[in-house]
Chain A
Amino acid sequence: MMEFLNQGGYALFVWSSYGMALVLLVGEVVVLRRQQRTILARLGRLIRLGATGGKK
């Protein structure tokens, strides 16, 4: 296990690369999910506003 993590002494370079890949790809998915929820919530509000003609 340690040998695998060590990558022949090049752990910094190998894991910095793979780490950034993980961060960016997972990060994109998290941001996308959040955007999706925001869009749905915003459109939901707009539609309800339209349905009541702007009156509360």
Chain B
Amino acid sequence: MPSPWFKYASPAAFYPLAGRLIPIFWLLAAGFLLIGLYWGFFETPDQLGGTNPQKEYYRIIFIHVPAAWMSMWLYIVMVGWAAIGLVFNTRLSFMMANAIAPTGAIFTFLALWTGAFWGRPSWGTYWDWDPRLTSELILFFLYVGYIALHSAIDDTRRADRAAALLAIVGLVMVPVIFWSINCPDPNQCAALHQRSGLGRIDGNILFSMLMVTLGFWMYSFATAFTRLRGIILTRERETQWVQAVVSAEVPAGVRP
């Protein structure tokens, strides 16, 4: 049964589609980020909270929380493609997982880095072995491990399978990060991240956070698809269509 989903599961069909989508994702990313950052810096209060308020440094929230969300979401998506690749043995799925990993690692590092610079003024320390910090750090190592394991195995198909298994096992960290605040009263246990909910955040702050999250998401599509196109060309280099694409794109001036 012909369906567009199966049609675009072929690298040859997805390559041009990704090429057409990338500029759209760049535009969306720029738009959402501009709105989110403008709103975050100019339409939000200078302080967060009533008693013992957080001062201007709380504005790190507008990249910290979106980066942390993207780090978990991209991992879930990466594992999804890796699992589909393992079950159905589809080439493009593994390539997709490969293309997502570096962007996911960058957002994970960004969440940790911005968290350190938020922690210093609010908790008095750049780092603490708080459950959420620790589990996010492990997520970062999982991304790095996935990339390293994949590049350490020469046979691409074996590399795909081994790295996919590692990613799937590591998925256990995502719910751990998400629920790593089981400390209702910070006076009684050590949890620097406290329970929160979308409904308890000021509307303007929430709006900025969501806009930046959408911007990061669109950015992830753009970079992952760009990387995916490179992976497709490299892996399918023996095929006619790749040779036609490369011949058309490499400038004639470099011909010997």
Residues of the B chain whose Cβ atoms lie less than 8 Å from the Cβ of A40: 233, 246, 249-250
Does B243 touch A at the CB level, under 8 Å? yes
Name which residue of chain B comes closest to A36, CB basis: B230
Contact with A along B40-61 (1 / 0, CB 8 A): 0100001000000001110110
Per DSSP, chain B at the interface is helix
Check B106–A25 contact: CB distance below 8 A.
yes
A-B Cβ contacts below 8 A, count: 89
Check A13–B117 contact: CB distance below 8 A.
yes
Given the interface pairs A10-B57, A17-B118, the reply to whether A39 lies near B110 with Cβ below 8 Å is no
Size of interface on A: residues with Cβ below 8 Å to B: 29
Check B233–A43 contact: CB distance below 8 A.
yes
Check B243–A39 contact: CB distance below 8 A.
no
Per DSSP, chain A at the interface is helix
Given the interface pairs A24-B110, A28-B223, the reply to whether A36 lies near B229 with Cβ below 8 Å is yes
Check B234–A43 contact: CB distance below 8 A.
yes
Identify the interface centre among A4, A41, A44, A46: most chain B CB within 10 Å of its CB. A44
Name which residue of chain B comes closest to A33, CB basis: B226
Residues of the B chain whose Cβ atoms lie less than 8 Å from the Cβ of A56: 256
The distance in angstroms between the C-alpha atoms of A28 and B113, with both chains bound, is 16
Contact with B along A14-56 (1 / 0, CB 8 A): 1011101100110011001001100111011011100000001
B113's contact among A7, A12, A17, A46, by CB below 8 Å, is which? A17
| Those of B218-239 within 8 Å (CB) of chain A | 219, 223, 226-227, 229-230, 233-234, 237
Q: Which residues of B contact A (CB under 8 A)?
A: 41, 46, 55-57, 59-60, 63-64, 67, 102-103, 106, 109-110, 113-114, 117-118, 120-121, 219, 223, 226-227, 229-230, 233-234, 237, 242-243, 246-247, 249-250, 254-256
Q: Which residues of A contact B (CB under 8 A)?
A: 4, 7-10, 12-14, 16-18, 20-21, 24-25, 28-29, 32, 35-36, 39-41, 43-44, 46-48, 56
Question: What are 12 pairs between A and B in contact, CB < 8 Å?
Answer: A7-B56, A9-B55, A10-B57, A10-B121, A13-B117, A13-B120, A13-B121, A14-B60, A18-B63, A36-B229, A36-B230, A44-B246
